[in-house]
Amino acid sequence: MDGILLVNKPKGITSHTLVQKVRKRLGISRIGHTGTLDPLAEGLMILTVGKATKILPFMSHFFKEYVATMKLGERSDTLDCTGEILQKQQVPSLSESQIVEVLNSFLGESEQLPPMYSAKKVNGVKLYDLARRHQEVERKSQKIVIREIELLDHRDDQITFRCLCSTGTYIRVLIEDIAERLNTIALMSSLKRTAIDNYRLEDALEIDEIDIDTALIPAYEVLRDYQYVELEDISDVINGRRIKLEENAADVVMITHHGEVLACYQRQDELHYCKRGLW
């Protein structure tokens, strides 16, 4: 079995647990995923199965859509409702136009500091492991892009919004920053990932719907953003040799043979070299 699988992760389990459950149902251990979801979160996860695990680096540019709810007037150590409450304050009166204006101020590129309670690694150690030991370390800000952000609902101390953002965006941190611009504090009370690139949550399977007869989405469809170069003679590709392509070939291309993606090749001077074999 080779390809990708759209799965709806339920609230309350880790992404690792979901992968383990799917491995058991399919009877295959070679399964990866395109990005974790916290136990609190639910929604779409893309799992790569078999040879498709090799295409993970080429999916890192995919934008992801979330629907999040923030609870105003409270702040926790984890920035969500699972953590210890550190601070409470009265919620100010906010108009819809105020909230929309603040949400829109986050559109475009910005810098975001990863939270201590996250799976990001510093010197090989996950930040949340350090946080649980009450150790805080210096983290580097990273560039994020928010392409779309929309207010969905505002009631009393709750704000729900939809956000389309680049990989690596921490919605919990975004919520903290939104609250600061609203002159209050907040934590994340719920999070649902509704889309990754063109793949939607409504097309995902529940864990108990997955079995060995489940149809997988082929890598050829997933990598459609890249230029495909179909070759009949693939001996040089199989042996990892440099090849000469047409002048109009992109700097990074996917080599295919009879509709199957074999390798990613990158230009270097007049030739393309094998960046990664995918067979």
Catalytic residue among 38, 153, 225, 251: 38
Q: Which residues pair with 228 in a beta bridge?
A: 254
The answer to whether residue 2 is catalytic is: no
Residues belonging to the active site: 38
